[in-house]
Amino acid sequence: MSTTRKLLSGAFGGVAFTAVNMGISFFQLRVLLHHMSLVLAGIWLIFMNLGNYAMFLDIGLTPTLGREISFASGNPNLSEDERSERIGTLIRSCTVIVAALSMLVIFVAGPIGWRYLRSITPTGIWHATEFAWVIFTFATALNLVGQGWFAGIYGLGHVFSEKMIRAVSAIVGFIFLVIALIAGAGLLGCAVAFLLQTSLNIILARIVLARATSGATAKGRFNLEIIRGMVGPSLKYAATLLGGILILQTDNLVIASTLGPTYIPDYQAVAKMVTALMSLSMMLVMSSMPLISQAYARNDTPAIVSLLNRNVRFTLSAMVILGTFIACFSDRIIAVWLGNGHFVGFHIVWVLLAVMLLEAHHQSLAATTMSTGRIVFVAPALIAGVLNIIFSVVMAKRFGLLGVVLGTMMSQVITNNWYIPWYTLRQFGLSFKQHLRAVIGPTALLVAIMLSVGFGLRAITTNLSNLISDEIGAVSIPIVGVLCFVLIMVTPSERHTLLKQLRHLGFRWTAAPPTDIVS
């Protein structure tokens, strides 16, 4: 499969998975608020946050495993037998170690989470919360065990398969959740549904990995020396990831500790929309990371630079186009979704969108650097994470929910937002002037055009119902956005490749016009 086709299939899988996640988030929050109180819904959302923190206990081994498999897959000096054995050994070794580390979830993360939940949970619902947390902790440990198998699928470049497994499991898990809530099982039912989802997830991953490696996992053997060689980069990656967690996944905990868990669901409604947009925008980047690692193994720097430039332009374009709809219609979206009285305000939405646009910019650049094995963003990530907690707590006490997002923005602007672009551009020999001309300038133009279109549509549809207004915006903004994207952000060579791929898919209207006309 060609690089372009791998990128497109991986990106399509990522888009499908993100769309599934967005759809599930859309309905899940509504179902939670319909069948549970604001307090219980807020506590379940905190469960999910704490579960994400617990996944950090793999100490960065699984992302490193994916990168090492990509290196082995792209190494031209290995024979097919050597390649197969290397990949199998990597997978088996990491799986054993991660399974051992999963015990930390039960014996370390579990008690810490229990203690925090005890401090914020009303006495009347603590008993149910306690039992639900025990089941959720076990499910999270199980989830951690399976991440090595997902890393193997991803590292081999089968991004589409990896995303489809996660999407199918998420759909089934949501069905279990709905059944549990309708049956009145509350938090306990939610935890059991998550356990069933996790079990299905890792079973499917194991089956797909065995087929993708053609039995390489059976050839592999446990090798402690390989693990020792991976520990250094893994710990650096884990520290970088910890900084990201402290930045992007602490809002609910700050809100629960300073304002109370009842504020979480309404804030989460807006935050989910904005973070889902960033996840969707980053799909091309995530799909291309194994290809960048393989290009690095071949010492093909021009290919890396080409992927870098394309990733940043496309990521920012998607964020701007999709973000315009949220920036202009978020209050009406929330009204249709959850009903009146749940919108937290445009001032919070706009700050969140600005934070995520800057986040998408530096993360797309950081992904390229880290795909080459350079884990160099530990210090700024950790500093930003600590500053985020301090700023958010202090400002939340004064400005409420707005203070939480302002704290995040301040911590990022003075650390990651400038340092990561500066380092990555310098690393690959790109000047800021080139970046300004190729990426920043066109993106600024796209922002100006899209916001003008978005606010214009909002003004035109003011007297229409929320649903009709949302539908007009949801259809019109992407259409205009795609046209502007093709005209402003796509290079001629990329446009030619895109048309060629469309012709392969059967879109004959993209065929080049004939050069000879017979009268």
pLDDT at site 10: 58
Q: Which residues of 438-456 are buried (b: 16+ CB within 10 A; e: fewer)?
A: bbeebbeebbebbeebbee
Helix axes 38-54, 251-258, angle to 10 degrees: 140
75 domain residue, yes or no: yes
Which two structure tokens, joined as six digits, stand for 24?
């599930």
Which two structure tokens, joined as six digits, stand for 229?
């060689």
Spatial separation of the C-alpha atoms in residues 53 and 156, rounded to whole Å: 26
The alpha carbon dihedral of 227, 228, 232, 236 has a sign of: positive
511 domain residue, yes or no: no
pLDDT at site 514: 39
Q: pLDDT 10s per residue in the chain (519 long)?
A: 555 555 556 566 666 777 787 788 778 888 888 888 888 888 998 998 898 888 878 777 877 777 777 777 777 777 777 777 777 788 888 888 888 888 988 999 899 999 999 988 888 889 889 999 999 999 999 999 888 888 777 777 777 778 888 888 999 999 999 999 999 888 999 999 999 999 998 898 888 887 776 655 566 677 777 778 877 877 787 777 777 777 777 888 888 888 888 888 889 889 888 888 887 788 777 777 777 877 888 888 888 888 888 889 999 999 999 999 999 999 999 998 888 888 999 999 999 999 999 999 999 999 888 888 787 888 888 898 899 999 999 999 999 999 999 999 999 999 999 999 999 999 888 888 889 988 999 999 999 999 999 999 999 999 999 999 999 999 999 999 999 998 898 877 776 666 666 566 555 544 444 333 332
Spatial separation of the C-alpha atoms in residues 224 and 230, rounded to whole Å: 10
432 domain residue, yes or no: yes
Spatial separation of the C-alpha atoms in residues 423 and 375, rounded to whole Å: 12
pLDDT at site 321: 95
pLDDT at site 133: 95
Spatial separation of the C-alpha atoms in residues 379 and 498, rounded to whole Å: 39
Residues 471, 329 contacting (CB under 8 angstroms)? no
361 domain residue, yes or no: yes
81 domain residue, yes or no: yes
Q: Tell which residue, 6, 33, 81, has the closest CA to residue 337.
A: 33
Q: Tell which residue, 15, 19, 152, has the closest CA to residue 91.
A: 152
Domain span holding position 461: 3-506
Spatial separation of the C-alpha atoms in residues 89 and 83, rounded to whole Å: 10
pLDDT at site 512: 44
> For residue 117, which phi and psi values (nearest 5 degrees)?
-60, -35
pLDDT at site 219: 65
516 domain residue, yes or no: no
Spatial separation of the C-alpha atoms in residues 245 and 220, rounded to whole Å: 33
Q: Three-state SS string across 96-157, please?
A: HHHHHHHHHHHHHHHHHHHHHHHHHCCHHHHHHHHHHHHHHHHHHHHHHHHHHHHHHHHHCC
Spatial separation of the C-alpha atoms in residues 236 and 71, rounded to whole Å: 18
How many CB atoms within 10 Å of residue 294? 22
Spatial separation of the C-alpha atoms in residues 103 and 54, rounded to whole Å: 11
- Cα angle value 369/64/49 (rounded, 5°): 95
Q: What's the distance, Cα to Cα, between the start and end of the chain in Å?
A: 42
Spatial separation of the C-alpha atoms in residues 173 and 192, rounded to whole Å: 10
Residues 109, 137 contacting (CB under 8 angstroms)? yes
8 domain residue, yes or no: yes
pLDDT at site 14: 64
Spatial separation of the C-alpha atoms in residues 99 and 57, rounded to whole Å: 11
Indicate the DSSP class of residue 439: I
- Per the confidence metrics, is the pTM higher than 0.75? no
pLDDT at site 216: 55
Domain count, the chain: 1
- C-alpha distances (whole Å) from 267 to each of 254, 356, 507 are 12, 15, 43
Residues 371, 360 contacting (CB under 8 angstroms)? no
118 domain residue, yes or no: yes
